[in-house]
Amino acid sequence: MMRFYDGQHGFYAGIDLHARKLHLCILDSTGKIVKDVSIAAAPETFLTAIAPYRHDLVVGCECMFAWYWLADLCSAEKVPLVVGHAYYMRLIHGAKAKNDKIDANKIARLLRGGNFPLSYVYPKGMRETRDLLRRRTWLVRHRSGLLTHLQVLNAQYNLPPFPKKLANAGNRLEMDVPARFTDPSVQKSATCDLAVDDGLDEQIAALELYLTRTAKVDDVQTDHRLRTIPGVGPVLALILLYEVHDIKRFANEGQFLSYARLVRCTHESDGKVVGCGGRKIGNAHLRWAFGEAACLFLRGSERAKKWKQKQEKKRGEGKALGILAARLARAVYHLWRKAEAFDEERFWGERHAASTGKGKTGSSSLLGAQEASHAAR
């Protein structure tokens, strides 16, 4: 459920923020414009502009890449700041004309009217490590893309499959991948991929070592509990910790699954379902983390492999993995809130079935079948 800012203030400041400048529009409690100016995006100019109104002022801006410095400044100066959810703030783009002045005015009026959609303001001190974890994820995915390109080259020339996994640097060196191809240009393409992969391996290993040694983990017990999930290691546990940050900001597991992009919301009109949406609303990094956790969980759990085989027959591999990711997210939510270690018997519903006499198809064994079914759609 979207949250809106409904605080009452004497003045409301809307900011259309850019990298080098910003447009500031301040309204009073009656909606009258008391300041409307374009200034440099610098702490001194911003503080000077809001000085006459800061005794009862709230500041709002859209969630875009340059909000960090403004949030840190407002926090240090004790000025209330709210950051707007970029996707839900499309209302500011609905007019016939659009410019910085119009956008800042609309942001201020959304604040004053209680219609300002809130985004989570991640705190300074942990934000930097979270961004480094995201950078590491980007490097991992880029490395995977290069390895996929080597597989594509191999298939284009109808060559035998690689005898060993390319993800292992030693295997790549041992197989002498470029020598499989006869054309010099293709060999050069493969050599280029391998050289970049080797460099990425080195950088990723260095990042992981740095993160595991220096990352600040306030909740050490939760970190240890996350690692009790088969396949979740130190780095993946850190990603989950830093992407979620505070589990209490989710009132229930449904909100958590929605934030992780693991369920889709239905669109209804006149009592009829007309579709579903929400694919791009939520935390894409958390969605990737749970997808990765599902794949690693399958490697370490025989029961998970058997479950996946049954689900594949009914829904296909992709939907089966989506359902498993949603179930893992639900389990993570509860182990985090209840401060309990992961219990695989409870995860599959076997302990409950044994105690109640129900079969494995009992309602409790589904572990949120409704959420899982949404993930499979």
Q: Using an 8 Å Cβ cutoff, are 196 and 264 in contact?
A: no
Q: Is the pLDDT of residue 20 over 80?
A: yes
Residue 221 domain flag: no
Residue 281 domain flag: yes
Tell me: do 288 and 340 sit in the same domain. yes
Residue 223 domain flag: no
Residue 225 domain flag: no
The closest alpha carbon to 335, from 236, 264, 256, belongs to 256
Q: How far apart are CA 37 and CA 252, in angstroms?
A: 42
Q: Which of 184, 216, 248 is the last residue of a domain?
A: 216
Tell me: do 157 and 33 sit in the same domain. no
Which CATH number does the domain housing residue 65 bear? 3.30.420.10
Tell me: do 238 and 372 sit in the same domain. yes
Its domain, for residue 39, covers: 4-119
- Bridging pattern class, strands 21-28 and 4-5: unpaired
Query: In the structure, what pLDDT confidence band is assigned to residue 91 with cuts at 50, 70 and 90?
Result: low
Query: In the structure, what pLDDT confidence band is assigned to residue 1 with cuts at 50, 70 and 90?
Result: low
- pLDDT tens-place string over residues 103-143: 999 999 999 999 999 999 998 989 999 999 999 999 999 99
Tell me: do 47 and 164 sit in the same domain. no
Tell me: do 112 and 148 sit in the same domain. no
Q: What is the CA radius of gyration of the chain?
A: 25
Q: How far apart are CA 38 and CA 75, in angstroms?
A: 22
Tell me: do 282 and 203 sit in the same domain. no
Q: Using an 8 Å Cβ cutoff, are 237 and 223 in contact?
A: yes
Q: How far apart are CA 46 and CA 62, in angstroms?
A: 16
- pLDDT tens-place string over residues 304-349: 999 999 999 889 999 999 999 999 999 999 999 999 999 988 898 8
Q: Give the pair of three-digit tokens for residue 31.
A: 């909606």
Tell me: do 156 and 287 sit in the same domain. no
Q: Give the pair of three-digit tokens for residue 161.
A: 């499959």
Over the chain, what is the mean pLDDT? 88
Tell me: do 67 and 111 sit in the same domain. yes
Residue 114 domain flag: yes
Q: Is the pLDDT of residue 365 over 60?
A: no
Residue 228 domain flag: no
Q: Which of 91, 119, 147 is the last residue of a domain?
A: 119
Query: In the structure, what pLDDT confidence band is assigned to residue 363 with cuts at 50, 70 and 90?
Result: very low
Residue 222 domain flag: no
Q: What is the pLDDT, as a whole number, of residue 354?
A: 41
Q: Which of 119, 147, 172 is the last residue of a domain?
A: 119
Tell me: do 308 and 267 sit in the same domain. yes
- Other Cβ atoms less than 10 A from the Cβ of 21: the count is 14
- Other Cβ atoms less than 10 A from the Cβ of 191: the count is 13
Domains in the chain, number: 3
Tell me: do 238 and 370 sit in the same domain. yes
Q: What is the pLDDT, as a whole number, of residue 301?
A: 87
pTM of the model: 0.84
Tell me: do 137 and 108 sit in the same domain. no
Q: How far apart are CA 66 and CA 15, in angstroms?
A: 12
- pLDDT tens-place string over residues 268-306: 887 888 777 667 788 999 999 999 999 999 998 889 999
Tell me: do 188 and 64 sit in the same domain. no
